[in-house]
A and B are shown apart, each in its own frame.
Chain A
Amino acid sequence: MSPSLLEVEDLRVTFSRRGQPSTTAVDGVSFSVDAGEVVGLVGESGCGKSVTSLAVMGLLPSRGTTVTGSVRFDGTDLLTMAPGQLASRRGKDLAMVFQDPMTSLNPVLTLGRQLTEVLRAHTDLDRAARKAEALDLLGRVGIPDPRRRLGEYPHQLSGGMRQRVLIAIALACSPRLIIADEPTTALDVTIQAQVLDLLTTLVRESGTAMVLITHDLGVVAGTCDRVNVLYAGRVVESASRHDLFARPRHRYTSGLLAAVPRVDAPEGSPLQPVPGSVRDRLEWDAGCAFLPRCGRGDDACRTGGIPLAPTATDLALSPGNPDHEARCVHPAGATT
């Protein structure tokens, strides 16, 4: 098998401050993205999704942050790359769509300026060509009357429109990988679907790979090829979208899926939340971090170093396809 486009291995991010105990936000995350693939990174607030994406892009502040592990993009390790070299690949080979379109655009510059800026940094196009390209991009992300919009300022656009502009900027140099960090979270529900559709259509058309970071299983269900579920800074389950929804193995994943409100549930039946919060956790070295919230855990879960591996059940189901991995001692749906 050829190496993947992006391979993140054992990524750890630790924030330390003088006089305070350090915090490990990402605790050994590994996942990979093939060219043209859409991979979901799912988890609740504080599980390390955004920090992972910032670490991949090399955007974490250098002070007080320790990043270890490796992030190989197309064979080269981004973490050991010189800052200048990395900067020249950002925007060109890998780009990012941020969570909040209200604050991710510069309020005092016209959209035209902001769109052409990335083209100016990474291409040899002259001014007129950049403008033409910007017009084309705005058209592609479905913004009506792009010629007029080029001269307008961010505050003159709605949130959905702004996110479209941000998507246009990210796509401007036809990157091979886009990291979308909660691209629809800040938008109205009605707009969310539109923007998500647009984003997936555009990456599918251009063959761009995408890492979609979200807390929303609904978003994952509609878009991703593969899904990685994060908990307390580690991937706890990795599977194709279909397998994940059909046969969740990790108890956290199954808990999440059980918690999704269903239209066809009997009237008056209570919602099934995952009990507790992320803060009730065990260190991964001491066992499964999810143990304090897990209904199924026992003393076997109190040993460190539980591996992310195909479960016995899945190996029995499809021996040749070890694609469904879970970090669980007592996986759900097991026959034993």
Chain B
Amino acid sequence: MSALDAIAPPPSPTAEPTGEAGLGPWAAAWRRLRRNPSGIVGAVVVGLFVLVAVLAPLLAPYQPATGEWFGEVTPTAVPGPSADHVLGLDSFGSDLLTQLLYGARSSLVIGVVSTAVGLAVGAVLGILAGGLGGWVDTLVMRIVDILLSIPSLLLAVSVAAVLGRGQWSIMLAISAAQVPIFARLLRASLLAQRGQDYVVALRSLGLRQRRIVVGHMLPNSLGPVLVQATLVLATAVIEVAALSFLGLGAADPAVAEWGRMLVTAQDRLEQAPQLALYPGLAIAVTALGFTLLGEALREALDPRSDR
């Protein structure tokens, strides 16, 4: 062809081997997700958890936190499984199964709401920092750094301590701990894209910065954010339990909350280990489910993880 061809890089291959030619990126990710066994396990666990939480009033045999059968609980013994109470009673005389089912509900609500709030606030901060850059970036990231320098549980405890006990302060406390995670994730992702060819190409078309960031760069960051949100939900479920274990949850000790159930179970660990076993298992399995799902999502959304 010509003299200068010798200096030019060789032409790059034009087609990449995908085998998923007919699919969009989300459809392809969905297909990879379905082929991942641990992803399926995670999805099933998460699905069950959500189902139980939503349908708790229908599934549970009794009302929660009634203390209806308090008379049957003695200082030395808590009634175990019986025909009326499949898992027995708790130490306040409520049906243990009912408490567990409703516990899922409060974990889900607090976990989802706090993650949603943490994600929303973190996303706004991250977009401001990564999208605008300059002094906005510096300011936002210093605030985030300060938030991040406080251990998340300690941060949550202090928020709860300031706001007083109750579900709302737990939610706020957990989301406060999540804000820096999402802010940094989004900022990093936006910064990484800033110099990319397609962004320069969009600028060459005269698109406004805001439009480029929100309409083009943000969709490119959704994958990692989705993964992180799933993983953070696992942490949130544990943190809900931890905070209510530390006594920062609802003031009523008999309320159906897994962490709270663990606390009260401590006193009777020798006579009635099942009181600690079931809520503990519920917390562990749920957190595991979210983690498995999150990891599977990460693999599914990252094209490089193709095996």
Interface residues of A (CB under 8 A from B): 42, 44-45, 57, 59, 87-92, 95-96, 98, 100, 102-110, 117-118, 121-122, 152-153, 155-156, 158-160, 166, 169-170, 185-189, 191, 215-219, 256-261, 273-274
Contact = CB atoms under 8 A, between A and B. Distances in A.
Interface string B195-231: 0111011111111100100011001101000000000
Contact of A215 (B8, B25, B201): B8
Contact of B207 (A117, A152, A274): A117
Given A103-B198, A258-B3, 19 more contacts: A44-B4, A91-B205, A92-B206, A100-B197, A104-B197, A104-B200, A106-B216, A106-B220, A107-B25, A117-B211, A121-B206, A153-B24, A155-B25, A160-B14, A185-B11, A191-B14, A216-B5, A218-B2, A259-B6
Nearest to B205: A91
Contacts of A217: 2-4
B146 interface: no
Given A118-B207, A158-B15, A103 B197 contact: yes
B21 A59 contact: no
19 contacts: A42-B4, A44-B4, A57-B204, A87-B208, A91-B206, A91-B207, A98-B197, A103-B198, A107-B25, A108-B25, A118-B206, A121-B208, A152-B24, A153-B25, A155-B18, A156-B22, A187-B14, A188-B11, A274-B3
B58 to A, nearest CB: 40
A102 B22 CA distance: 18
Contacts of B2: 216-219, 260
B12 A90 contact: no
Contacts of A218: 1-2, 5
A-B CB proximity, top 6 nearest:
A159-B14, A91-B206, A259-B3, A90-B206, A91-B205, A215-B4
B7 interface: yes
Given A217-B4, A260-B3, A102 B12 contact: yes
B18 to A, nearest CB: 7
Contact of B198 (A91, A104, A121, A219): A104
A96 B205 CA distance: 8
B217 to A, nearest CB: 9
A189 B196 CA distance: 25
A258 B211 CA distance: 49
Nearest to A122: B206
Given A187-B11, A218-B2, A273-B6, A96 B201 contact: yes
B252 interface: no
Contacts of A100: 12, 197
Contact of A107 (B4, B6, B14, B220): B220
B154 to A, nearest CB: 38
Nearest to B134: A63
A152 B24 CA distance: 7
Given A104-B201, A105-B198, A188 B14 contact: yes
Given A109-B216, A218-B2, A91 B11 contact: no
B270 interface: no
B201 A110 contact: no
B189 to A, nearest CB: 12
A86 B4 CA distance: 34
Nearest to A187: B11
Nearest to B3: A259
A83 to B, nearest CB: 9
A153 B22 CA distance: 9
B14 A158 contact: yes
A75 B26 CA distance: 47
Contact of B200 (A87, A98, A155, A170): A98
Contact of A59 (B16, B203, B215, B220): B203
Contacts of A259: 3, 6
Contacts of A107: 25, 198, 220
Contacts of B211: 117, 121
Contact of B8 (A89, A170, A216): A216
Interface in B18-45: 18, 21-22, 24-25
B3 A59 contact: no
A166 B215 CA distance: 18
Given A103-B198, A159-B12, A189-B1, A44 B7 contact: yes
B11 A108 contact: no
Contacts of B6: 259, 273
A122 B200 CA distance: 18
| Interface hub of B1, B18, B196 (most chain A Cβ within 10 A) | B1
